Amino acid sequence: MGDYKPDAVISPVPATIGDPTQKDTPQNHSSVLYHQLRQKPLNIVGGRGSYLVTDSGQEILDATCGAAVACLGYGDSRVHEAIMEQLQKVPYCYSLYFTNSAAEELSQILVDSTGGKLSRAFIVSSGTEAVEASLKMAVQYYMELPVPQPQRCNFIARKQSYHGNTLGSLSVGHHVGRRALYEKVLAKNVHHVSQCYPYREMKDGETVEAYVARLAQELEDKFQQLGPDTVCAFVAETMTGTTLGCVPPLPGYLKAMKEVCERHGALLILDEVMCGIGRSGTLHAWEQEGVVPDLQTMAKGLGAGYAPIAALLVNQHVVDTLTRGTGAFSHSQTYQGHPVSCAAACRVQKIIQEDNLLVNVREMGEYLGQLLHETFEANPHVGDIRGRGLFWALEFVQNKETKEPYPPSEAIAWTVHKTGLKPEYSISLMPGNGGIDGISGDHICLAPPYNSTRAEIEMIVDRASRVIQEVLG
């Protein structure tokens, strides 16, 4: 449980996992268990480019690719064709007995994209599954070293992070709202250190170097507290996603954290489920940090939403250890290396290359950042504007001087999201809350498609600004 204090969530504050302002939808006869049980969400019947179309014909500008997933936008016929072709060849085969060409090709693309530093791919169907696999891989790795280290059973992760929703991945994450109910059954071998969150945690007058050194010392202290040789791995999102809201790592931060891990022989697991595979401007967000992880997860943009898919990439030295050890990863899933998902992801990755989309992510990302600064810098309720690539967030405050957040009961982020869906705005914005301490803090994230045009970026900022004007005045 680390520093996590369950008492902090036993409060009258609405759960931070959903929409506390939901209203009963009359005559809701659906059989679907909606995320908000009492309220029927809009029904999406089509999609074109950056737009989603509802059953009433409303066209919604999707400024977030869903959950940073649909990175090519909707309706790319090249991906449809690749999926159809694979369906006709082989829709499924069981990875315990067989391999398939689509999984082979996708794994090769992913390994090549790391310059071979990560040398094998383990392909599953969701980010959560990739994270679970990374944790199990880390445990197995220490058992298969020439001199096994069975005492390594602790994980260190970061507060206000998200790594998935099964019990294992939820344990390494620190999303207070999603953990609260399950706290009593979460793993007790996970410990949490601070985020790299300069807006609120860098002290007045502190340099970047001093702040980074302070965070590295905190990690070092945690290793010492647990016993350095009991730690399996440090787990972090390279760029923190929705829980904290698109916070890029400060220069030197991940390098410093990796040094601490190396000093004590622990692995570095970078979770790039959200920020990876192009979202940050490079295919892997770690490329900008001068570190190579031992294990890396990716998912959301990998198949661009055309099929559920995720991957764990494994560093050469970990592969070598397992190869010389038992020679088998003690973990598998029925839909592992699913041919149709792999074919979709292969095509998506080739489109990113063919259409030179990483260049567009960097250029449009810079433009989006510039427009956000121009539009919101003077706004008294936008405390921080941050991001990288096509992954940006605005953090809302009541008072810019004191950085005082809105009361959680006002559900500002959710209200911004819901207001955006009104026909006069028709924009989908990603709400996030609890970034400060798990309960307070409101932000929205923007994660538009990699092929966004300048006009679309301008439209996103214009609509977002009108929505924020209506909600915050």
Ligand X SMILES: *Cc1c(COP(=O)(O)O)cnc(C)c1O
Binding site for ligand X (CB under 6 A): 126-128, 131, 162-164, 237, 241, 271, 273-274, 299
Least distance from ligand X to the Cβ atom of residue 312, Å: 12
Least distance from ligand X to the Cβ atom of residue 304, Å: 13
Residue 178 corresponds to which amino acid?
R
Nearest by Cα to 286 from 313, 309, 320, 322: 313
Residue 437 corresponds to which amino acid?
D
Least distance from ligand X to the Cβ atom of residue 88, Å: 27
Question: Up-side HSE of residue 465: CA atoms within 13 Å toward CB?
Answer: 17
User: Which residue matches tokens 């520093």?
Assistant: 3
Cβ–Cβ < 8 Å for 275, 93: no
Least distance from ligand X to the Cβ atom of residue 136, Å: 15
User: Which residue matches tokens 């809105």?
Assistant: 406
Least distance from ligand X to the Cβ atom of residue 280, Å: 12
DSSP state at residue 428: E
Residue 444 corresponds to which amino acid?
I
Cβ–Cβ < 8 Å for 364, 457: yes
Closer CB to ligand X, 312 or 461, in the complex: 312
- Dihedrals phi, psi of 140, to nearest 5 degrees: -65, -40
Name the token pair of 32.
Answer: 């679907």
Distance CA 80, CA 218 (A): 48
Kindly give, in sequence order, each residue whose CB lies less than 8 Å from that of residue 196, ignoring residues fewer than 6 positions away.
211, 212, 215, 240, 247, 249, 250, 253
Least distance from ligand X to the Cβ atom of residue 172, Å: 9
Least distance from ligand X to the Cβ atom of residue 43, Å: 22
Closer CB to ligand X, 79 or 131, in the complex: 131
The 8 Å CB, 24+ separation contacts for 424-427 are: 425/463, 425/466, 425/467, 426/58, 426/59, 426/60, 426/61, 426/463, 427/60, 427/61, 427/63, 427/460, 427/463, 427/464, 427/467
Question: Up-side HSE of residue 68: CA atoms within 13 Å toward CB?
Answer: 30
Closer CB to ligand X, 76 or 271, in the complex: 271
Number of residue whose CB is nearest ligand X: 127
Closer CB to ligand X, 65 or 382, in the complex: 65
Closer CB to ligand X, 79 or 274, in the complex: 274
Least distance from ligand X to the Cβ atom of residue 271, Å: 5
Least distance from ligand X to the Cβ atom of residue 390, Å: 15
Could you tell me the end-to-end alpha-carbon distance of the chain, in angstroms, rounded to an integer?
40
Least distance from ligand X to the Cβ atom of residue 169, Å: 7
Closer CB to ligand X, 246 or 351, in the complex: 246
Closer CB to ligand X, 134 or 452, in the complex: 134
Strand partners, 313: 121, 296
Residue 304 corresponds to which amino acid?
A
Closer CB to ligand X, 310 or 364, in the complex: 310
- Dihedrals phi, psi of 46, to nearest 5 degrees: -165, 170
Closer CB to ligand X, 164 or 438, in the complex: 164
Closer CB to ligand X, 164 or 383, in the complex: 164
